[in-house]
Chains A and B, each alone.
Chain A
Amino acid sequence: MIGFVAWRLLQAIPLLIGVSLIGFGLMHLAPGGPLAVYTLNPTIQAQDIERIKIIFGLDQPVHVQYVKWATGIFSGNWGYTFFGGRPVLDVILERLPATLLLMGSALSVAIVLGLSIGVLGAVKRYSVFDVLATTGALFALSFPTFWFGLMAIFVFAIELRWLPSGGMWELGEEGNILSLLRHLVLPTMVLALVITATWSRYSRSAFLEVMQQDFMRTARAKGVPPAARLMRHAFPNAAKPLIALLGVELPFLFSGALVTETIFGWPGMGRLFVDALNMKEYPILMGMMMFTAIFVIIGNLLADLAIAAIDPRVRLR
């Protein structure tokens, strides 16, 4: 297994280089260039911009810039922001806790809920519950997240006044857990809605497929009661596609949710990305791209390891 992990991590290197090349190329192809924002600022003279270019190394040929940046990525120096000149990695890491909190709570709520709805739908196939759950999931998946976000703010924050409409704390209450939880509810709800829908669909079809297998009939034929058939026989077999889904969703835990964080003013990674995009903060955008790519690789690796752990037929190589 250690050999497998080492091999997969080794494979990840060319993948990350590819991602960095494409990302870097796209950034340089984007119209306006990194310093376009400065040209709109009347207080900054042309020679200032030239000076800034030299400071950031933007006067050098593209391939030299890439090599400098890429070697920095692999050695832990992810570059500096255009505005303020702060280390990119610091900027990213200081946004991480907020995103981990929001995505963590949304994912756990959604997985528990989605799994339960999916399993119940599979067990009681074509029942009223199943039809309602299926329709509901379709509804949740077809409407855009911003609509749910705005509706949630309208109903719970503006009309009912139960919950705050955005931010992480009330002013002056930073560090107050209760205030944090109150602010967490709406964005978690909105995020969890879509993830729950996905999970209920996936787990329903995974369980339906397993429950039609011959070995489930064997379990019934030897007198195993329904709950044990579900937990002991169906679950481990149905878990594989769900673990794969979990592996794909792990990066979201770290990269955040663009729309939801923006609507609710949640100071996480998603909003950092949107802000950086507006400010043309290329070092941050590229840093976040690499950051996400790393977690995509880790998520898939962990999923493969978990699947191999529950299914004896899967060999790691």
Chain B
Amino acid sequence: MSAAASLPDETGAAAAEAPLLSVRDLTLHIPVPPHVLRAVDGVSFDLRRGETLGLVGESGSGKTLTALMLMRLLEPPLAALPRGEVRLDGADLMTLDEKRMSALRGRTISMVFQEPMTSLNPVMTVGRQIAEPLVRHLGLSSREAAARAEEMLRLVHIPDPARVARAYPHLLSGGMRQRAMIAIALACRPAVLVADEPTTALDVTVQAQILELLAELQREMGSAILLITHDLAVIAETAHRVAVMYAGRIVEEAPVAALFAAPRHPYTRGLLASIPKIERVPAPTLPEIPGMVPGAGDRPRGCAFMPRCARAVSGCAAEPPPLAETDRGHRVACWNPAHG
């Protein structure tokens, strides 16, 4: 890889670093008679080794469904609906049978959920819950797994790991439980970690600690992280690249610095403008994006954001804009993107 990177030709470097996780045209259309709810509508992105990709969007934009589809965790009757391709290290997760997918879950691709209070089994000790994937995937004996579980608790900075390993989840605080969840997800050192709003349910001070922990563990284990959040501050702090989702589609994707410095899509610009800034005192009215996210039936035929968009032009209603590269690594789906 280092040889390839030293080449002046940049395409050579890109080719050598093939993405670890490659999502193409991921789609979830849910029939809700008389409509079809386009919950996720052709999402494509790549995730490279050791990289953190932030997937940002408001509630209902399809972030969580995207994550559940990657993990193949949708329950019937939704389980049969996803379309598209999810390549992890070459294998297409969408076509694996449940048994082989189950062998990858927790080992190669793991997930941390939004609700630490309810995501742990209340009648099983924390230690056993961390040990479970170790026994299942790595074939450790229960004694080895218990020792590794304690080690994982130490790694996620839980004080007195030996005692916590024997404790039941209800004795732990929300932050501690989320640390335990991270310990479970990372126990087998997965290549990909999907973190779905991992800090949303936590206090602000604890949020920062959890994000710091994720970054630290990423440096240590080299896992790629798909970080799903509605909070741009979390993205700014943690992610390398950002993909912004709106109404089931990715509308803009760029390296973090580029996106914050020069957002192209009117929706991204609206999102960034609506972040309160502390220095403006007295605070002026916070700008907001007018209108609402379109519902299941009344999604426009063209760009879904058009009804709320100040930059809409005549062509916007005809056809949804494709996600096209404007600068290197900066892609935007807009018929009339802003510049600078």
Residues in A lying within 8 Å of B, measured CB to CB: 213-215, 217-225, 228, 232-233, 236-237, 310-313
Contacts and interface: CB of A to CB of B under 8 A. Distances in A.
A139 B73 CA distance: 37
B322 interface: no
B165 to A, nearest CB: 14
Nearest to A221: B111
Contacts of A311: 122-123
A217 B113 CA distance: 9
Contacts of A214: 113, 115, 118-119
B133 interface: yes
Given A214-B115, A313-B168, A313-B170, A223 B102 contact: yes
A221 B120 contact: no
Contacts of B137: 223
Contacts of B99: 225
A213 B118 contact: yes
B70 to A, nearest CB: 11
B132 interface: yes
Interface in B75-130: 99, 102-107, 110-111, 113, 115, 118-124
A312 B106 contact: no
B133 A223 contact: yes
Nearest to B72: A220
A225 B115 CA distance: 22
5 contacts: A215-B121, A221-B106, A223-B136, A223-B137, A224-B132
Contact of A221 (B73, B103, B168): B73
B185 interface: yes
Contact of B103 (A218, A223, A232, A310): A223
A128 to B, nearest CB: 15
With most chain A CB atoms within 10 A of its CB, the pick from B110, B121, B133 is: B121
Nearest to B170: A313
A312 B168 contact: yes
A218 B115 CA distance: 11
A214 B117 CA distance: 9
A222 B124 CA distance: 15
A228 B184 CA distance: 17
Contacts of A236: 123-124
Interface residues of B, number: 29
A218 B123 contact: no
A180 to B, nearest CB: 41
A34 to B, nearest CB: 53
Given A224-B132, A224-B136, A313-B170, A218 B105 contact: no
Contacts of B110: 221-222
B113 A222 contact: no
The 6 closest A-B pairs by CB, nearest first: A222-B106, A223-B106, A223-B105, A214-B118, A312-B168, A215-B121
Interface of B: 71, 73, 99, 102-107, 110-111, 113, 115, 118-124, 132-133, 136-137, 168, 170, 181, 184-185
Contact of A218 (B102, B120, B168): B120
A233 B128 CA distance: 11
B73 A233 contact: no
A237 B118 CA distance: 13
A222 B111 CA distance: 8
Contact of B132 (A222, A310, A312): A222
B121 A237 contact: yes
A213 B123 CA distance: 13
Nearest to B187: A222
B136 to A, nearest CB: 6
A168 to B, nearest CB: 43
With most chain A CB atoms within 10 A of its CB, the pick from B118, B123, B124, B170 is: B123
B104 A223 contact: yes
B105 A221 contact: yes
Contacts of A217: 73, 113, 119
A29 B79 CA distance: 65
Contacts of B181: 218
Contacts of A228: 136
Nearest to B136: A223
Contacts of B106: 221-224
Given A223-B104, A223-B105, A237-B123, A218 B184 contact: yes
Contact of B105 (A213, A215, A220): A220
Nearest to A311: B123
A312 B120 contact: no
A213 B111 CA distance: 16
A174 to B, nearest CB: 48
A223 B135 CA distance: 11
B102 A233 contact: no
A312 B73 CA distance: 29
A311 B119 CA distance: 16
A222 B105 contact: yes
A191 B159 CA distance: 55
With most chain B CB atoms within 10 A of its CB, the pick from A213, A223, A224 is: A223
A233 B122 contact: no
Nearest to A233: B121
A236 B106 CA distance: 22
Nearest to B98: A226
B107 A223 contact: yes
Contacts of A313: 122, 168, 170
A84 to B, nearest CB: 53
A223 B137 CA distance: 8
A303 B145 CA distance: 33
B159 to A, nearest CB: 20
B170 A225 contact: no
A221 B133 CA distance: 10
A214 B71 CA distance: 15
A312 B119 contact: no
A6 B73 CA distance: 48
Contacts of A225: 99, 102, 136
A234 to B, nearest CB: 9
Given A217-B119, A218-B121, 15 more contacts: A215-B121, A215-B122, A217-B73, A221-B71, A221-B73, A221-B113, A222-B136, A223-B102, A223-B105, A223-B133, A223-B136, A224-B106, A225-B99, A312-B122, A312-B123
